């Protein structure tokens, strides 16, 4: 029998790995998420603040806010674009692997370069460009889940990603804190970690070649149009976007103002508030981790995501009730514990649900990047919204009421979703 010719159009999504290979992919996926979050957490929360204190000691708060704000904005806007470009990439190495490799090496090199910057302008520019490459790595990394895993395994992968995000930030900050007096060395360590870790993951991903697949047109106009996902044509995607935005806005508003809540609402001294904040942070870490993996695995077993997300959201909403009714430290500690448990369960299942609502498989990278705008945008907006509410007649009680309403709305927004259970 003669050999069949290679068709001109083949699916662009890689084949889902055989059941026995999901374990290796899960380990690699977790490791890649851990590497990028250790790096970003350590650099953004410890290395940059210490560098700003060295460069502009009198204006370190404003300088750090400017640098981190510009970087966050760039990363938020570039991630869906990077995802769209990876969706359209055609190479013998696949669609995602080239972007993972280039993103990791580029971001790593720029992070190393941050240690050589001696002015605010150079730091801001270098960190903003580094965010471009971090987005080029993160967007295709997120797309690996819908690309390579069946729906029944996505709760596990989503839970692993949540653990990596949370644990990575803690480990990164802890490591960076020990390098406060060795800024160039610290940046070099984080940069090399990301570059090497990203290259190893890209190599081990072993995507199918995408050289024979249709190559969609790539232009500024087509990419700009691709960024828009019609709520009329894809209502489930729109509901998911709105739910995620509302939840992160309400959740982040309270967590970001914990210290001021303790001082101005509860009445603790500055030292006592800082001591309590350290304890509450540990409690938040423990309860969040306690909810992450079990909820994701339970959702896989049940084959249902919506009920777990709705219950998790309502737990987060309920966490704002104790301090609303009682302006005391024990009430706030109970609130933090409940919020952590709810957030852990939510984070482990939310990403799995979102992968089931993506409009088209060939746009997974772009659409996950668009969804990321919901949580990144909400977290960026939360401090401004919270400050307006606290400064009004409603005060801190108004902040708790706002959080309850927003997160309850987020739970309700899951109900109309029809294309996933």
pLDDT tens by residue, 159-211: 777 778 777 777 887 787 777 778 899 999 999 999 999 999 989 887 766 65
List the one residue out of 115, 130, 128 whose CA is nearest residue 195: 130
Q: Answer whether 350's CB lies under 8 Å from 220's CB.
A: no
Contacts within 8 Å (CB) and 24+ apart, 278-287? 279/333, 280/332, 280/333, 280/336, 283/333, 283/336, 283/337, 283/340, 284/255, 284/336, 284/337, 284/339, 284/340, 285/166, 285/170, 285/340, 286/340, 287/336, 287/337, 287/338, 287/339, 287/340, 287/341, 287/344
Tokens at 72, concatenated = 């966050």
pLDDT of 335 reads: 93
* Banded pLDDT at 405 (limits 50, 70, 90): very high
Output the CA angle 368-373-377, nearest 5 degrees.
Answer: 160
In eight-state DSSP terms, residue 359 is S
Give the whole-angstrom CA distance, residue 381 versus residue 383: 6
Tokens at 144, concatenated = 């690996």
- Distances from the Cα of 363 to the Cαs of 80, 89, 368, 381, in angstroms? 10, 11, 9, 27
Of the candidate CATH numbers 1.10.3720.10, 1.20.1250.20, 3.60.20.10, 1.10.10.10, the domain formed by 20-211+219-226 belongs to 1.20.1250.20
In eight-state DSSP terms, residue 4 is P
Stated as kind and residue range, the H or E segment containing 179 is none
Q: What is the pTM of this model?
A: 0.68
pLDDT of 343 reads: 87
pLDDT of 107 reads: 95
Average pLDDT, the chain: 80
pLDDT in tens, 126-169: 999 999 999 899 888 888 877 777 777 777 777 777 778 777 77
Q: Which residue ranges make up each domain of the chain?
A: 20-211+219-226, 235-414
Give the whole-angstrom CA distance, residue 277 versus residue 361: 43
Percent of the chain with pLDDT over 90: 24
Cβ neighbourhood burial of 415 (10 Å; 0-12, 13-18, 19+): exposed
Tokens at 205, concatenated = 């991903």
Decide whether 20-211+219-226 matches 235-414 in CATH topology. yes
Give the whole-angstrom CA distance, residue 340 versus residue 325: 19
List the one residue out of 406, 254, 242 whose CA is nearest residue 339: 254
CATH number attached to the domain at 235-414: 1.20.1250.20
pLDDT of 11 reads: 43
pLDDT of 284 reads: 83
Tokens at 365, concatenated = 């990278």
CA 132 to chain centre: 15
Measure the N-to-C terminal CA separation of the chain; round to a whole number of Å: 46
Find the range with the poorest average confidence among 8-22, 39-53, 131-145, 402-416: 8-22
Q: What are phi and psi of 211, to 5 degrees?
A: -75, -25
* Banded pLDDT at 223 (limits 50, 70, 90): low
């Amino acid at each position: 029998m003669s050999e069949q010719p290679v068709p001109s159009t083949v699916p662009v999504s890689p084949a889902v790995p055989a059941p026995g290979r999901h374990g290796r992919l899960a380990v690699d996926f977790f490791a890649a998420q851990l590497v990028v979050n250790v790096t970003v957490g350590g650099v953004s929360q410890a290395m940059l603040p210490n560098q700003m204190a060295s460069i502009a000691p009198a204006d370190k708060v404003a300088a750090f806010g400017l640098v981190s704000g510009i970087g966050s904005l760039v990363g938020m806007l570039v991630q869906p674009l990077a995802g769209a470009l990876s969706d359209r990439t055609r190479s013998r190495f696949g669609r995602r692997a080239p972007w993972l490799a280039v993103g990791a090496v580029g971001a790593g090199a720029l992070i190393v370069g941050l240690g050589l910057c001696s002015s605010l302008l150079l730091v801001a520019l270098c960190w903003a460009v580094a965010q471009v490459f971090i987005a080029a790595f993160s967007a295709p990394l997120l797309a690996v889940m819908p690309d390579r895993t069946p729906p029944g395994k996505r709760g596990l992968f989503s839970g692993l990603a949540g653990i990596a995000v949370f644990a990575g930030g803690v480990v990164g900050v802890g490591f960076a804190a020990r390098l406060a007096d060795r800024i160039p060395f610290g940046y070099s360590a984080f940069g090399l970690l990301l570059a090497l870790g990203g290259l190893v993951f890209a190599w081990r991903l072993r995507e199918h070649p995408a050289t024979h697949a249709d190559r969609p047109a790539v232009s500024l106009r087509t990419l700009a149009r691709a960024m828009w996902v019609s709520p009329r044509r894809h209502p489930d995607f729109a509901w998911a976007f709105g739910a995620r935005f509302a939840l992160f806005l309400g959740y982040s508003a309270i967590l970001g103002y914990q210290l001021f809540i303790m001082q101005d609402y509860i009445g603790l001294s500055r030292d006592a508030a800082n001591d309590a904040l350290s304890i509450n942070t540990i409690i938040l870490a423990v309860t969040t981790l306690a909810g992450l993996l079990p909820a994701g695995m339970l959702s896989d077993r049940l084959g249902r995501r919506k009920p777990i997300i709705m219950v998790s959201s309502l737990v987060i909403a309920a966490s704002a009730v104790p301090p609303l009714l009682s302006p005391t430290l024990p009430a706030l500690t109970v609130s933090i514990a409940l919020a952590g448990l709810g957030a852990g369960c939510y984070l482990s299942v939310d990403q799995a649900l979102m992968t089931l609502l993506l409009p088209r498989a060939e746009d997974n990278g772009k659409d996950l990047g668009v969804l990321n705008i919901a949580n990144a945008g909400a977290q960026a907006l939360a401090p401004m919204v919270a400050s307006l509410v606290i400064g009004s007649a409603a005060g801190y009680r108004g902040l708790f009421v706002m959080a309850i309403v927003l997160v309850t709305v987020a739970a309700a927004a899951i109900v109309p979703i029809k294309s996933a259970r």
